A and B are shown apart, each in its own frame.
Chain A
């Protein structure tokens, strides 16, 4: 199958590792991945901030790029951005009086899946260890991001994939369905409320004893990872608690495991697998 990757702006610019992991997992299953180079952003930031006029060219760019590209299905490692394609882009186009763009937006949205949707519903992956060779021998808990849960109704798709990773010690997160407090520009406009929401989430993560918090939206993980870093949150064993996108956990294998012991740094293109020499050097410093 020819799969078009919609990396999403935040993964593209801040978490390239997540896009690389997505490519790796899909190629491992024998599919061809293409990256329509005109893509930029779903426009959700503009829409949710109330700048619906400014959202129009961003929507148009996304829709035209994915209408012109040649692929069977599109995928994005984000529930929120995929939800925006279907729930918001047609609305923005109609509001601007462009019915043709609205219909094209609906077409593109209909062809675009969130990663766990694609893996589970289209590619039939039910066991990450057996079918993807995923291996991650760490304690992990999982936060289901709101838009994937409530707009895409992903249900347990992401969680079930994570739970079937080889070697994993999975811990259920209390009050998992409560928002982490990211909310796009909400996080900047109401930082104290957003931070208080992050505190609650982090308290619950601490209760699980997990060293890794995973999820399906890099934006929420950027917020939670930044809050964990600021608060210096550590596990009972004194290890810093990290956020890692579930695509990276799926891409991690026994032969080339994802390293979670490096400095608090979440994204290095191509650096998903830290060579042994490097890690040793780091430890020596």
Chain B
């Protein structure tokens, strides 16, 4: 008898792609970055400065924890009602003269935008700083079609002119210091020469001269959005420089790319986020420029407005109850500014436009943990929890990291099972498959530890081997080398000689085996100690 499943289609989450995948294990990419002393010094200085500013402006708000809870609750509501809210947004944007496009992934979004730009017959567009456009690699897609996209955010401009990659969500050029920025400007900007100094004022003035002409001569702008209000169809961009506002108001056509998770239900909800975001990101009470627009307004600003709603893996993230709160992120970057791992490696080590703790949970979820080396990202954390403490929408990043580690381990085990099944082929293939299926050292270590650490009696038995470890340590009482994955420990640190006896075994000898037994000896006898000290010599 055969069975047929009826009525339940197998829905597989559609994962995203773009500049969100690490191409080599984090250990390797981190190692490369650790060798860059200048970059590490720049990052250290910058993150410590922003971290201090943030702490000061957060401390002065008595209701900060309530604000965080409100932000978190609003985002939960958005995720629960996402389909309805998106349709509401679409209806309101359309009613106010905008055009809404739906993009399943990066390729679709790039195709939509490229077609819109080409229809305008231009070969240059100006860009507002936007994570979504970085994520989908829009600049590269436009370039392939002969369209240059000019970054107008100062830091993004530095990255673009330096043919570099952003290394931070808020401060994409955080890994560069002003001397390095000066060199880039002198080399790349036609308007500047060797007389340019590395004073911030002079650098900003050079960028201003370079960009002003672009603002006045370009007819198409592309932006992201910090928030989209379902109730009114209003889009919002929050920034510091005013260059974003130039792009949002001067050109005739505006194309906005917004991740579908950027919604807020009502206009009033912005009140919560416009307090949380600037204090968390730049450490300011309020950001200098908050631009909002609703569709098009005759005689004022762009007369053509397109909104591209981007999924690119977000629905897949939403389908995981344990990981979905990663979508609550408002891209403030507070987590990377306090992360001790990010502080050492910088953003490039994460291989994604989303670095740091949020990147370590967002990138592997957007692409799936099997994509490239993204499965190594959840391990890029000591689980210290500093990120969770500062997150303005209280995303429990450490718990999601642990959840994704579990997912990665399960995916690796499933791959091994597949390899074993496929081993029934030709001999050569079979050998390769068997090799692939061999349990990792970590698997073996964890299985062994599971057996020993699930019984006090087995722990006691294993601990009777401690004197052997002590003997191995030799007279200097230090172990400087361990084999296999334990070598990761001794790469950096010594291991003190193990004790002669575990506490458990000492207790059994001196106080009786059972917890409930009446205590026999009441104190640690010095005589007992010296006796064994002598034995050891």
Contacts and interface: CB of A to CB of B under 8 A. Distances in A.
Interface stretch (B14-22, B132-140, B442-450): B442-450
B491 A35 contact: no
A90 to B, nearest CB: 12
Interface in A28-53: 32-41, 43, 45-52
B502 A40 contact: no
A130 interface: no
B382 A183 contact: yes
A185 B404 CA distance: 15
B30 A193 contact: yes
A238 interface: no
B485 interface: yes
Contacts of A48: 383, 402, 405
A50 B406 contact: yes
A32 B386 contact: no
B83 interface: no
A43, A179, A186, A264 interface centre (most CB from chain B within 10 Å): A179
Nearest to B480: A230
A225 B477 CA distance: 13
Interface stretch (A105-113, A114-122, A273-281): A273-281
Given A27-B522, A35-B507, A188 B493 contact: no
Given A27-B522, A186-B379, A272-B524, A225 B492 contact: no
Contact of A179 (B384, B404, B489): B384
B513 A37 contact: yes
Contact of B496 (A19, A43, A229): A229
A183 B384 contact: yes
B382 A179 contact: yes
B340 to A, nearest CB: 5
Interface string B334-365: 00000011001100000000000000000000
A226 B515 contact: no
Interface stretch (B56-64, B114-122, B203-211, B451-459): B451-459
Interface string B399-413: 100101111110000
B59 to A, nearest CB: 14
B344 to A, nearest CB: 4
| Chain B: interface size category | 35 or more
Interface in B514-529: 514-516, 519, 522-526, 528-529
Interface in B389-443: 389, 399, 402, 404-409, 442
Given A196-B344, A226-B493, A229-B493, A189 B515 contact: no
Contacts of A27: 522-523
B503 interface: yes
B34 interface: yes
A125 interface: no
A7 interface: yes
A141 to B, nearest CB: 18
Contacts of B442: 49, 185
Q: In this complex, which of B501, B515, B525 has the most chain A Cβ atoms within 10 angstroms of its Cβ?
A: B515
Contacts of A40: 452-456, 458-459
B46 to A, nearest CB: 15
Contacts of B402: 47-48, 50, 52, 88
A269 B499 contact: yes
Contacts of B332: none
Contact of A192 (B455, B456, B491, B497): B491
Contact of B489 (A43, A65, A151, A187): A187
A157 interface: no
Interface residues of A, number: 94
B492 A16 contact: no
Nearest to B412: A50
B503 A11 contact: yes
A275 B533 contact: yes
Contacts of B508: 37
B386 A54 contact: no
Given A178-B340, A229-B494, A39 B456 contact: yes
B92 to A, nearest CB: 40
Contacts of B31: 192
Contacts of B267: none
B384 A275 contact: no
A52 B499 contact: no
A91 B31 CA distance: 34
Interface in B455-505: 455-459, 463, 466, 476-478, 480, 485-486, 488-489, 491-504
Nearest to A225: B496
A178 B389 CA distance: 13
Given A34-B515, A230-B492, A16 B506 contact: yes
A18 to B, nearest CB: 8
B494 A230 contact: yes
A194 B492 contact: yes
Interface in A167-204: 177-179, 181-198, 200
Contact of B453 (A43, A183, A229): A43
Interface string A257-285: 00000011111111111110110000000
A227 interface: yes
A103 interface: no
A226 B353 CA distance: 36
Given A9-B459, A57-B454, A190 B501 contact: no
A208 B492 CA distance: 23
Given A150-B384, A269-B501, A181 B513 contact: no
Contacts of B457: 38
B273 interface: no
A179 B340 contact: yes
A190 B379 contact: yes
A187 B442 CA distance: 13
B532 interface: yes
Contacts of A213: none
Residue of A43, A52, A146, A269 with highest tally of chain B CB at under 10 A: A269
B398 to A, nearest CB: 9
A12 interface: yes
A70 interface: yes
Contacts of B519: 32-34
A173 B379 CA distance: 28
Given A50-B379, A150-B389, 4 more contacts: A19-B503, A47-B402, A269-B503, A275-B526
Interface of A: 4, 7, 9, 11-17, 19-20, 24, 27, 32-41, 43, 45-52, 54-55, 57-58, 60-61, 65, 69-71, 88, 91, 146-147, 150-151, 177-179, 181-198, 200, 222-223, 225-227, 229-230, 256, 263-275, 277-278
18 contacts: A12-B459, A13-B463, A17-B499, A20-B506, A36-B515, A40-B453, A48-B402, A57-B454, A183-B382, A186-B379, A188-B489, A191-B491, A194-B492, A230-B493, A264-B476, A270-B506, A272-B524, A273-B529
